[in-house]
Amino acid sequence: DAGITQSPRYKITETGRQVTLMCHQTWSHSYMFWYRQDLGHGLRLIYYSAAADITDKGEVPDGYVVSRSKTENFPLTLESATRSQTSVYFCASSDQAGGDTQYFGPGTRLTVL
Amino acid sequence: AQSVAQPEDQVNVAEGNPLTVKCTYSVSGNPYLFWYVQYPNRGLQFLLKYITGDNLVKGSYGFEAEFNKSQTSFHLKKPSALVSDSALYFCAVRVYKFYFGSGTKLNVKP
């Protein structure tokens, strides 16, 4: 199906483990984003990418790593998970030709024990 | 610093009544303004946006928003609320990057 997908939808891990959240879009949008959603904070930008092999930090990048070797994929890695990274993570994509409207994936609920 | 404020954590309205969800912003330059809606356990869905032109923007599901440059506001409105409108609403501003408000929970009671 066309659109933007995230996997896994739910993940439980332990402190110190490496976790990778996947994001895939089928629109060939140039921009992709990772956000985390926490109660009281709304959405906070972690990293974004303007194109393949171009990434930049957002508001809360510490503890996260991203890569974008292909336009359609934008994985987010927590190198050593901490309890403070328990959150809901959303991936989004946009295209400047579309007026920068962002389209969001369904989210990944991550729990770090 | 760029910021987006949604001053109400929650808005309660009776079905059939008009609703307003407030958003104000403080950014440099001329921003693009957006409203998104989030239903439980779902990602955000685009409702409407303002880039330029008419200050009243119409969007999905009967929603509209009014851009007020002097008050730096972009309030979301609907003439007649439905129970199915109950959800979490986010205002967002784009100036180079996207900045989201903290969200307003809309409760529409039958």
**What's the pLDDT tens digit per position in B80-104?**
999 999 999 999 998 877 889 999 9
- B→A contacts (Cβ < 8 Å), by residue, are 6, 32, 34, 36, 41-46, 49, 51, 90, 92, 94, 97-98, 100-103
pLDDT at A1: 54
**pLDDT tens readout for residues B27-76:** 888 889 999 999 988 889 999 999 988 899 999 999 999 999 999 999 99
Q: Which amino acid is at B39?
A: Y
Task: Indicate if the pLDDT at residue A101 is higher than 90.
Answer: no
- CB environment A55-89: b (16+ within 10 A), e (fewer): beebebbeebebbbeebbebbbebeebeeebbbbb
